[in-house]
Amino acid sequence: MASERKPTVGFIGAGRTATSLAVALADAGYQVIAVSSRSAQSAQRLADRIPECKAVATGHKVADAAQLVFITTPDDDIERATASVYWQQGHQVAHCSGALGLEALWPASAQGAEVGSFHPIQTFGPTEQPLTGLDSVVVGLEAQGGLFQTLKTMVTDIKGTPLAVPAESRALYHAAAIMSCGHLAALLQSAVALWEKAGLPAGLGAQALQHLAEATLMSVKERGAGPALTGPLVRGDVETVRRHLAALKSQAPELLPVYTSLGQQVVELSVASGRLPEAKAEESRKLLSATEA
């Protein structure tokens, strides 16, 4: 039997999140002993990465072997995967969804298992590439009973940072994560599209703009968002912004709302950080809101 501090662990689902988390837990001294997946090959690939871990045919066999089971399927499949297993008192079950609450695990809690959510605020690459690490990653937690402390200890053991996320905060918490991840990727692609509309070499767009974005992210990390701001809005250069807006309106009108909305955020952050005088800020606000209307 595993100690209370380090329960035996299993996974239902063997994709990107499961692979990175399972390997991190094994490296931290947890016994990851069973994994199942809709794809037997995926389950076997994950099991092969971890000594004494076995690929099994069903989620129920994972639950038979492990005290703590992570449901790492796509969000739409979590409830179905949970309902396919006969749980017992003493079982602990956690999903890794950022958007879903504990209600997705009701088939397990109804049978007496403790349920929880363990959501790393991290993106995970393909399993055939070098694994994404979890060091310093913030992990959002919600759980019943003693499972919360178990999950919190796990986060600490894999060198992450635990964060309690109340049920009523989950939607905004997840929206914040998506804005810094998927929305950021979409914004960068929009910038590349503008580059190409300008008639500049397509192959250099991603290289130039991604390098700029990486430098900005590093500056935000080191100095904070306000001090990291650059560009005409933070300088109060209204005429440059006016030229941007005119060009967008005529050549890329679909991106005009994106520019104005983000521009308004830049103005307010510039004022709050003491970098833009209120008079200049008001001039920029009027220009951006008039274009938006």
Average pLDDT in the 158-170 region? 96
For residue 236, being part of any structural domain is answered with: yes
Examine the domain organization and report whether 261 and 235 are in the same domain: yes
Percent of the chain at pLDDT above 90? 91
Task: Specify the pLDDT at position 271.
Answer: 96
Same domain, 266 and 186: yes
Q: Are residues 122 and 210 in the same domain?
A: no
Task: Work out the average pLDDT over 91-99.
Answer: 96
Q: What is the pLDDT of residues 5-34, one digit of tens each?
A: 799 999 999 999 999 999 999 999 999 999
pLDDT: is 113 or 5 the higher one?
A: 113
Confidence tier at 164 by pLDDT (50, 70, 90):
very high
The answer to whether residues 109 and 22 belong to one domain is: yes
Residues 49 and 23 sit within 8 Å (Cβ to Cβ): yes
| Size of the chain in residues | 293
> 93 and 207 in one domain?
no
Residues 157 and 219 in one domain: no
Question: Is 91:113 a contact under the CB 8 Å cutoff?
Answer: yes
CA 166 to chain centre: 17
User: Which DSSP letter does residue 130 get?
Assistant: P
Residue 237 pLDDT greater than 70, yes or no? yes
Average pLDDT over the chain, rounded to whole? 94
Residue 107 CB partners (closer than 8 Å, separation 6+): 79, 82, 83, 85, 87
**Cα angle 277, 279, 281; round to 5:** 70
Kindly report the CATH number assigned to the domain that includes residue 18: 3.40.50.720
Number of domains in the chain: 2
Q: What residues make up the domain containing 58?
A: 9-168
Domain assignment of residue 96, yes or no:
yes
Residue 49 included in any domain: yes
pLDDT band (50, 70, 90) for residue 131: confident
Sheet holding 68-71, edge to edge: 54-55, 32-36, 9-12, 68-71, 92-95, 114-120, 138-143, 161-164
- pTM: predicted TM-score of the whole model, two decimal places: 0.88
291 or 245, higher pLDDT = 245
CA 114/CA 286 separation, integer angstroms: 54
Structure confidence by residue, pLDDT tens digits, 21-74? 999 999 999 999 999 999 999 999 999 999 999 999 999 999 999 999 999 999
- Using the predicted structure, report yes or no on whether residue 1 has a pLDDT greater than 60: no
Question: 57 with 114, same domain?
Answer: yes
Position 177 in a domain = no
Residues 114 and 144 in one domain: yes
pLDDT score recorded for residue 3: 45
Report pLDDT for 292. Answer: 60
**Digit-coded pLDDT (tens) for 171-199:** 999 999 999 999 999 999 999 999 999 99
Q: How many helices and strands, by DSSP H and E, does the chain display?
A: 14, 8
pLDDT in the model for residue 290: 87
Amino acid 133: pLDDT: 80
Position 129 confidence tier, pLDDT thresholds 50, 70, 90: low
